[in-house]
């Protein structure tokens, strides 16, 4: 049985998606590439843990704890959480120490564990306390604007805020967009054309690296592999 994955949008300007899932009879899943930070809370056998997952530059097979419930806050690209440098979290994560059964330590203070329902309020608290940082250069670059800065300054600030280069984020978003199209039934050739890949082998290589599946595998609804959060986005361009 696959992960029961639900997701919703958020009113917060800092958040891309809020999601939750439960593991039932599944041992592993494919964690696909993602350019953002993801704050993940999971509960297993009565114990709750929380961790900050960094950007992931390629798809990897990940184990799934049995009989566990998960909830996550996926931040927008360029949003960082103090006191953690995004570049130190790329393809990694940090687990927060437990304060008590329903709270954790962050930046020297005990914070109540968030949940799917109060996630927006929790993010508001983080912003109020100055723990969320936003780099406007990231939005400018992703939207195709040229900030009034030197190229070197733009590259430095972009990398500092996201942990990744613009090219890497563009490759990740293009692969994710292509995967959504294929899952929706768009043909492989039409997907190649719409997403700007050179040809089908180019698409195959990118999807295998960033998504963990080939186009044919993504289109095969009989396959049982579970992917992590995948959704339509306006950031591809």
pLDDT in tens, 151-168: 999 999 999 999 999 999
pTM for the model stands at: 0.91
Q: How confident is the model at residue 1 (pLDDT cuts 50, 70, 90)?
A: very low
Buried b (16+ CB within 10 A) or exposed e, 48-62: bbbbbbbbbbebeee
In this structure, is residue 28 part of a structural domain? yes
Indicate the number of domains in the chain.
1
In this structure, is residue 125 part of a structural domain? yes
Domain housing 63: 6-134
Share of the chain above pLDDT 90, in %: 76
pLDDT of residue 233: 64
Q: Is the pLDDT of residue 78 over 70?
A: yes
Average of per-residue pLDDT across 132-145: 91
In this structure, is residue 227 part of a structural domain? no
* Mean pLDDT, rounded, of the chain: 91
> 126 is written with which tokens?
């983080």
In this structure, is residue 177 part of a structural domain? no
Q: Is the pLDDT of residue 175 over 90?
A: yes
In this structure, is residue 126 part of a structural domain? yes
Q: Is the pLDDT of residue 228 over 90?
A: no
Q: How confident is the model at residue 224 (pLDDT cuts 50, 70, 90)?
A: low
Q: Please give the Cα distance from 112 to 95 (Å, whole number).
A: 15
Average of per-residue pLDDT across 66-90: 94
pLDDT of residue 118: 96
Please confirm whether the linkage preceding 106 is cis (ω < 30° from 0): no
Buried b (16+ CB within 10 A) or exposed e, 14-32: bbbbbbbbbbeebeebbbb
Cβ neighbours of 187 (radius 10 Å) = 12
Q: Please give the Cα distance from 15 to 9 (Å, whole number).
A: 8
Tell me the pLDDT tens digit for each residue of 81-110.
988 999 999 999 999 999 998 999 999 999
In this structure, is residue 41 part of a structural domain? yes
Residue 36's nearest CA partner among 18, 16, 20, 10 is: 16
Tell me the pLDDT tens digit for each residue of 192-202.
999 999 999 99
In this structure, is residue 11 part of a structural domain? yes
Q: What is the DSSP letter of 149?
A: S
Q: How confident is the model at residue 146 (pLDDT cuts 50, 70, 90)?
A: confident
């Amino acid at each position: 049985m696959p992960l029961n994955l639900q997701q919703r949008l958020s009113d917060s300007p800092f958040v891309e998606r809020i999601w939750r899932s439960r593991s039932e009879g599944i041992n592993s899943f494919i964690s696909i590439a993602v350019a953002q930070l993801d704050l993940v809370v999971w509960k297993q056998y009565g114990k709750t843990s929380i961790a900050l997952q960094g950007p992931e530059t390629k798809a990897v097979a990940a184990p799934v704890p049995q009989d566990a419930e998960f909830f996550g806050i996926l931040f927008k690209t360029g949003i960082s959480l103090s006191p953690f440098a995004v570049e130190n979290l790329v393809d990694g994560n940090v687990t927060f120490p437990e304060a008590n059964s329903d709270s954790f330590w962050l930046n020297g203070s005990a914070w109540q564990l968030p949940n799917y329902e109060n996630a927006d309020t929790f993010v508001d608290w983080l912003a109020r306390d100055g723990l969320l940082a936003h780099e406007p250069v990231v939005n400018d670059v992703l939207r195709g604007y040229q900030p009034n800065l030197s190229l070197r300054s733009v590259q430095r600030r972009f990398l500092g805020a996201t942990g990744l280069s613009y090219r890497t984020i563009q490759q990740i978003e293009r692969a994710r967009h292509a995967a959504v199209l294929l899952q929706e039934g768009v043909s492989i050739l039409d997907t190649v054309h719409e997403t700007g890949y050179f040809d089908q082998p180019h698409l195959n290589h990118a999807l295998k690296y960033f998504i963990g599946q080939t186009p044919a595998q993504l289109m095969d609804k009989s396959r049982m592999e579970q992917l992590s959060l995948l959704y339509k986005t306006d950031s591809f361009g």
